[in-house]
Each structure stands twice: as structure tokens, then as C-alpha cells.
């Protein structure tokens, strides 16, 4: 895995992708067309080098991402607003008259400040007040601060769990998954195709969800050491420390994204677990939007050739190997899981019931078992299987693999010779050989007067001496009572015990 340097964000029915000095926004419009815009965004870190220092760069990137994110989120919402809501209000007119072209920027700044204020109230003030209610049973300030951090983390998880149940948020989280899949696809050395993106993971180490979890964790460590009794002073210190906590958290997640070892994987685990709430499996429409957003700001083909596989001796084989690994990993993840239908993917439910074998397939299976059992000198179970199959009521010629004659009618004894009635054959065709059945006459010296046709078998005329006959017939003594009702054994397709 190799870092690509790109990042993104899910918006309403779309995705924003950012790479260095520019970002793109791809939106799936109500008419199903994809709208893509590209904007330049020169970072202040290039102009002011001190913004690249550790901790400081984390604080700057946090606020810059927040402002840009709110801006593109507002842009995407314009495609799905009610037309009546788009009409300018008096506040818009007053703002335009006072601030003119800077009105949008000022409105965005106010939105950012309000968002930060609400976040501080929910994740800083509320946990502090709840933890202090435990002071009646907990005397240690360090332990109270630890409980405060745990309460903060619980509130954060509950907040994510609640908003993830909202319909619009669910779709946004699906786009979030598509964004992660695109980045993972590239950073695992695969071509950016819909199939490869689909096979990629929807979890990423550098996700904003993971960042927020690390912020919660680092804040617990920081606040444990605050031992001031004044409530207002404690709250002020907590707010002032937030930029520092954000900066430290940025360095931690940056390190985890660059280095892949047991420690960083363990460090990233909690954030990856939380991404189960903030990401969903996208459909192919969303993957298409994500790919278009990436391709507008990032040359993934150049990245694979000149960076990812720069030392490769056979780049085509290496790419195919990477894509194969993605497919195998995707199959392992989805094995045993039901796939839900989405807007653009139609997945047929797998028939998990066992397919009922035809009689022909059962005989073939029995033959294979017969061969195996014969080697093991254990034919008992095979004979039982064959007997069960032959006793089935519905056995037709198309369903049998071998020639089987179930029964011949009882023979009738006349005078000194014997007369056989025409056999009733259950099968109409011969699978392995052509057989001629020669019919004996009442007297061995007489010829058969005419040939008979029984169920497709022709009994040829026999000469007086029956030289061509393959069957030897014995005379049955009509005086024998035991043999009078004896049935002539049927021809069996297989040997019996």
C-alpha cells in the first residue's frame, strides 16, 4: 500500500475529492446526470512555511477542511433544494447590500463558528457537567476527568448511531464508502475501474471519523492532568486546548496512514470500527460519481506507472496480481453475507436449497460411489442406494443411465415345453449395447412363425437349431409345485450380492 496524497468528503448525492491545490465536486443531479466542477484551492501552507510545522499544520488543516467541507456541502444542497426555498429573502438582500460580494464568505464563516460552538457544547460542556455529577461518589479529580472522557466518547458514538438511521444521511454515508473505496483502490496498486473500486475496502486509516475518535482519546489524556477547582476556568482551559488536541491527533493519524505495522494497525482499529457507522456499501451509480471526481484532480495512471510500480520488472503482471488480491479479499469479506439491493445494482438471491437430482444423475452418483466402495471392499451402502433408486415410482428412460429391465411376467407352462409371454420392459432404449432377444417355441423343433416387436425391441425369427441365440433356456417341469409360481430373474444393470 502506498499513499496517493488525495483525500475526499461525501456531500449530498456526491463526492468532493481534493489533491494539493485543487479539488473537484461530482454531483448526481435529479435528472441522473453527473455535474462535475473543479476549483483551484492554493493552500496557505505554501505561502507561509511556518504553517507546515508539526501540530500547527494539524490545526490549520482541520479548520481549512471544515471551511471547504461546509462550502461544498452547501453547493451540493442547491441541486436538491425546493425551488421556493431558493428565492432570496430579505436577509439575503440586506446582506448583499452591506457586504456585497463578500456576503457568501461571511455567511460561511458564521456557519463554521456556529458549528464549532454546538460541537463544543455537545462534546465538551455536557460531558463535563455529567461527570461532575458523579463527584458525590468519586473524590479523585483524575478519575472524574477520565469518566468525563468516557462519557464524551459514548455521546459521540450515540450521535453517530442516531444520525446514521436517517434516510438522507444513509445515502451520504454510502457516498462516503465510495470515496474510501476509490482511494483504497489506487493506494493498493489497482486500476481505477468500477469493478476494482467495488472490490476495495470501504474503511480507510486517514478517515475523518478515525481522526475524531483520536481527538476524543487524546483529550482524555490531556484533561486528566487538569486539576483546577474553578468550573469556569476548567471549561475555558478545555476549549483553549482543543486546537492543540486537534494538532496532536492530526500527527497521530498522519503517522498511522504512512506507516503500516502492528502498532499502527492496532492504533487505527477503533477508528475503523466507527467507520462501520459512517460508511455504507455504495451502489454502482455512486462508484461512478466517485471515479469521475477522482479523475478530475488525480492522474491515477501516472501514479501507478511512475510511483507505485516504478521498480517493477513486469508492471502488467503486478497490476493484475494486485487486482486479483482485491477480488479475493472482497469475496472473503462478503462470504456468507446477504447483499442488499440498491438503486442501481440488482443482485439475484442465491438459491441455497439443494438441487434435486434426476434419476439419471442419481445413478451416475451411485456408480461413482460403487467404484469408490469397490476399492474399499465395502459395497453394502452402494447396493442400498441402488435399491432405493430402483424402487422409485417415476423412473423413465430419459432418467436412467443404464439398461434396466425390472421384471418379466410369469412364464406359462404348456405340455412338455414352456411358453414365455412377452416381457414388459420399463425402458425404451438401450444405453450401452444393442440386444436381440430370441424367443423359444413350444417345441424345440418348430420355427418361430413371426417376429414380435415389444417396446422398441425386435425379436428376430430364430432358425430351428437356434444357433444365433445368446440365451440358454431350461425346461420347467410342470409337475413341480415349487417352481410353478417362480418368477424368472430380471436382468439387472449392476451386480448384486
| Cα 309 to Cα 322: distance, rounded to the nearest angstrom | 11
Domain ranges of the chain: 7-334, 357-401, 402-497
From the centroid of its chain, how far is CA 429? 49
Grid cell, residue 272, equals: 475503523
Residues 6+ positions from 68 with CB-CB distance below 8 Å? 16, 18, 23, 41
Residues 293-314 as b or e (16 or more Cβ within 10 Å = b): bbbbbbebeebbeeebbeeeee
Q: Which helix (H) or strand (E) holds 7?
A: strand 7-11
pLDDT tens track, the chain, 497 positions: 788 889 999 999 999 999 988 999 999 999 999 999 999 887 777 788 888 889 899 888 888 888 888 889 888 988 887 655 555 666 666 666 666 666 666 777 777 788 888 888 888 889 988 988 888 888 888 888 899 999 999 999 999 999 988 888 999 999 999 999 999 999 999 999 999 999 999 999 889 899 989 998 899 888 888 778 788 888 888 888 888 999 999 999 888 888 888 888 888 889 889 999 999 999 999 999 999 999 999 999 999 999 999 989 999 999 999 999 999 998 888 775 644 444 443 333 344 444 556 655 665 666 666 555 555 544 455 455 556 655 654 444 444 444 444 444 444 444 444 444 444 444 444 444 444 444 444 444 444 444 444 444 444 444 444 444 444 444 444 444 444 444 444 434 444 44
What are 340-350's pLDDT values in tens digits?
444 443 333 34
- Helices 141-163 and 208-224, axial angle in degrees (round to 10): 160
Instruction: Please state the three-class secondary structure of 221-238 as a single string.
Output: HHHHCCCCCCHHHHHHHH
Give the predicted TM-score (pTM) of the model: 0.64
Neighbours of 221 (CB within 10 A): 13
In Å, the largest CA–CA distance within the chain is 130
- Determine the pLDDT at residue 79: 87
Grid cell, residue 413, equals: 407352462
Q: Which residues pair with 18 in a beta bridge?
A: 7, 23
236, 238, 241, 246: CA torsion to nearest 10: -130
* φ/ψ of residue 271, rounded to 5: -65, -35
Contact between 432 and 403 (Cβ < 8 Å)? yes
Give the Cα-Cα-Cα angle 366, 369, 370 (nearest 5 degrees).
85
Amino acid at each position: 500500500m502506498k499513499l496517493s496524497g488525495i483525500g475526499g468528503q461525501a456531500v449530498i448525492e456526491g463526492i468532493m475529492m481534493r489533491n494539493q491545490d485543487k479539488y473537484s465536486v461530482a454531483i448526481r443531479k435529479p435528472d441522473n446526470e453527473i455535474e462535475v466542477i473543479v476549483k483551484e484551492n492554493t493552500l496557505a501552507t505554501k505561502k507561509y512555511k511556518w504553517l507546515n510545522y508539526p501540530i500547527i499544520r494539524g490545526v490549520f488543516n482541520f479548520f481549512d477542511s471544515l471551511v471547504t467541507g461546509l462550502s461544498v456541502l452547501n453547493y451540493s444542497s442547491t441541486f436538491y433544494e425546493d425551488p421556493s426555498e431558493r428565492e432570496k429573502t430579505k436577509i439575503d438582500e440586506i446582506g448583499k447590500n452591506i457586504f456585497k460580494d463578500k456576503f457568501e464568505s461571511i455567511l460561511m464563516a458564521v456557519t463554521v463558528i456556529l458549528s464549532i460552538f454546538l460541537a463544543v457544547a455537545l462534546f465538551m460542556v455536557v460531558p463535563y457537567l455529567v461527570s461532575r455529577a458523579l463527584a458525590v461518589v468519586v473524590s479523585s479529580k483524575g478519575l472524574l476527568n477520565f469518566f468525563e472522557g468516557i462519557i464524551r466518547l459514548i455521546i459521540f458514538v450515540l450521535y453517530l448511531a442516531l444520525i446514521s438511521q436517517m434516510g438522507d444521511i444513509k445515502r451520504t454515508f454510502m457516498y462516503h464508502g465510495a470515496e474510501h473505496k476509490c482511494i483504497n483502490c489506487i493506494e493498493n496498486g489497482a486500476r481505477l475501474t468500477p469493478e476494482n473500486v467495488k472490490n476495495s475496502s470501504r474503511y480507510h486509516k486517514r478517515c475523518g471519523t478515525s481522526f475524531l475518535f483520536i481527538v476524543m482519546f487524546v483529550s482524555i489524556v490531556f484533561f486528566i492532568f487538569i486539576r483546577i477547582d474553578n468550573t469556569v476556568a476548567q471549561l475555558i482551559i478545555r476549549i483553549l486546548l482543543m486546537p492543540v488536541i486537534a494538532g496532536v491527533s492530526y500527527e497521530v493519524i498522519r503517522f498511522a496512514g504512512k506507516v503500516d505495522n502492528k502498532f499502527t494497525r492496532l492504533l487505527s482499529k477503533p477508528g475503523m470500527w466507527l467507520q462501520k457507522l459512517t460508511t455504507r456499501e455504495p451502489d454502482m451509480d455512486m462508484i461512478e460519481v466517485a471515479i469521475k471526481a477522482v479523475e478530475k484532480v488525480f492522474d491515477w495512471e501516472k501514479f501507478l506507472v511512475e510511483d507505485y510500480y516504478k521498480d517493477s520488472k513486469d508492471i502488467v503482471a503486478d497490476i493484475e496480481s494486485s487486482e486479483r488480491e482485491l477480488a479475493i479479499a472482497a469475496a472473503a469479506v462478503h462470504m456468507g453475507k446477504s447483499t442488499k439491493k440498491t438503486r442501481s445494482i440488482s443482485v439475484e438471491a442465491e438459491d441455497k436449497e439443494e438441487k434435486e437430482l434426476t434419476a439419471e444423475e442419481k445413478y451416475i452418483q451411485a456408480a461413482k460411489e460403487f467404484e469408490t466402495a469397490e476399492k474399499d471392499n465395502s459395497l453394502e451402502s452402494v447396493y442400498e442406494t441402488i435399491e432405493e433408486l430402483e424402487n422409485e415410482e417415476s423412473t423413465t428412460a430419459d432418467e436412467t443411465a443404464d439398461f434396466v429391465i425390472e421384471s418379466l411376467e410369469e412364464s406359462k407352462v404348456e405340455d412338455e415345453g414352456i411358453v414365455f409371454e412377452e416381457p414388459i420392459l420399463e425402458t425404451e432404449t438401450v444405453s450401452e449395447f444393442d440386444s436381440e432377444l430370441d424367443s423359444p417355441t413350444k417345441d424345440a423343433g418348430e420355427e418361430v412363425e413371426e417376429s414380435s416387436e415389444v417396446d422398441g425391441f425386435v425379436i428376430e425369427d430364430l432358425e430351428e437349431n437356434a444357433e444365433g441365440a445368446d440365451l440358454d433356456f431350461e425346461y420347467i417341469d410342470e409337475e413341480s409345485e415349487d417352481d410353478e409360481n417362480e418368477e424368472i430373474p430380471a436382468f439387472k444393470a449392476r451386480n448384486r450380492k
